[in-house]
Homo-oligomer: A and B are copies of this chain.
Amino acid sequence: MSPSSQPDYTQFPHYNITFPAPYVAHVEINRPKKLNAFYEPMWLELGAIFRLLSHDPSVRSIVLSGAGDRAFTAGLDVQAASSNGALTPAAAGIDAARKATEIRRHIETFQHEISAVEKCEKPVICVLHGFAFGLAIDLSCACDIRLCARDTRFAVREVEIGLAADIGTLSRLPHANVAMSWVKDVCLTARDFDADEALRVGFVSGVFDDKQTALGKAVDMARLIASKSPVAVQGTKEVLNYSRDHTVVEGLNYVKVWNAAMLQSQDVVDAMTAGLQKRKPTFSKL
């Protein structure tokens, strides 16, 4: 069912994918000359990468960052978008309903690719630095944990270009549990905010002196997570995301049904035995 051989992670020209620690993958957005701005091939690749990582038994946690000194990503490559995509005017003879259908399909694909990060079974730690505008927020909202460098300049920029953000920011930010008064401030004004503000409101959970330090910290955290039972870790991500979207009673029922199978892992036995013996357990692949 699942492929036994390692996926080929070199097939994605816009990303560097490395493995800095056991069971840890590092996905680096790699279009630094354009401030890592996104155009269509980049989000198609991104979705494909995270779908592969999701089922790859040799990966247990993931770090996502941007190449270069200047930007995690400056957001959508507006020039590319305006020559091809949802933002292009309708062709002659196309009425507004038909154009709407075209736009809807386009947004659906785009959302689907970014949501692959959230749907990935393994935790994803996002490391932001430099410019982190527009799509940077959509994308980082789909990650589980957000860390950043002190120089990061964040902005929910979409109203600047005449539109409500539609790739995830407005859908996920109200569920990131950061104060709604602040969320509306930054989404409606499109103003910049810095790392300290991001930390204070809880949008990021760690700020570090520079990108390298932040990346190092993220890899450490990923390594720590990867040292735990993958059954426990992946269940924790799944159940937290499910619970975010459901009532407490629904959440309790779901984790009960989930764990009916997942408590029957060798990991529980191994973890408890190792705990009693004061040593670190190892866990088989998942």
Query: Which A residues form the contact surface with B (CB < 8 A)?
Result: 1-2, 55, 61, 78, 82, 84-87, 89-90, 93, 95-108, 111, 115, 118, 123, 144-146, 158-166, 168, 170-185, 187-191, 201-206, 221, 224-225, 228-229, 231-240, 243-249, 251-252, 254-272, 275, 281, 283-284, 286
Contact = CB atoms under 8 A, between A and B. Distances in A.
A232 B102 contact: no
B161 A275 contact: yes
Given A78-B275, A170-B255, 6 more contacts: A1-B105, A97-B286, A174-B251, A178-B179, A178-B202, A244-B248
A277 B84 CA distance: 20
A105 B107 CA distance: 24
Main SS at interface, chain A: helix
Nearest to A86: B263
Nearest to A176: B180
Which of A249, A260, A267, A275 neighbours the largest number of chain B CB atoms within 10 Å of its CB? A260
B170 A229 contact: no
Nearest to A266: B95
Contacts of A95: 264-267
Contacts of A165: 236, 239, 255
Contact of A159 (B107, B179, B228): B228
Contacts of A168: 248, 252
Contacts of A206: 185
Contacts of A264: 90, 95-97, 99-100, 103, 261
A241 to B, nearest CB: 8
A254 B81 CA distance: 21
A1 B181 CA distance: 33
A255 B87 CA distance: 15
Across the A-B interface, give the 5 residue pairs with the lowest CB-CB distance, nearest first: A179-B202, A171-B251, A164-B235, A97-B265, A261-B261
Given A97-B261, A269-B89, A235 B275 contact: no
